[in-house]
Amino acid sequence: MNYRFKKNIVTAIVAVFIVITALYQFNYIDLQTFLCLLIAKIITTVNFFIGLFTYDKGLNKDDKSFLLMVLGGQITRLFGVLIFIILGSNMLKLNNNLFILLVFIFYFIYLILEIFYLVKARSNSLTKYYG
């Protein structure tokens, strides 16, 4: 399940990057919107894969360690995204409203995918131990 899920996610992420680039190339979106989309997508994609990595590391641990890894990782990643939002909006002179909106949209989409992955992976992990 994990390999197929990750393969489908990577395929969808590449497809979204291709669509964003095509929209810019065919002049459906301007440069400012393109940069906001691209940087927001990169920030949240990196955040998502770091989350999957921490989930994979915590799945075979006991419940206390698992919870510590998941919640600690979530808080750390949330502050990392906050730092990148501040840096992106201040240093790159992006459209703040659009950039923050896009980061939150991508963040919540990835958060739903993380929850789905975690529920499926945890249930598979528990079935392995309890039968």
Q: What is the rounded distance in angstroms from the CA atom of residue 34 to the CA atom of residue 31?
A: 5
* Average pLDDT, integer, range 89-107: 88
* Average pLDDT, integer, range 28-51: 92
Question: Side chain identity at 11, as an amino acid letter?
Answer: T
* Average pLDDT, integer, range 31-47: 92
pLDDT surpassing 70 at residue 131: no
pLDDT at 125: 60
Return the residue matching tokens 């079935």: 127
pLDDT surpassing 60 at residue 104: yes
Expressed in percent and rounded to 5, the helix, strand and coil fractions of the chain are 90, 0, 10
> Phi first, then psi: what are they for 30, rounded to 5°?
-85, 175
End-to-end CA distance of the chain: 17
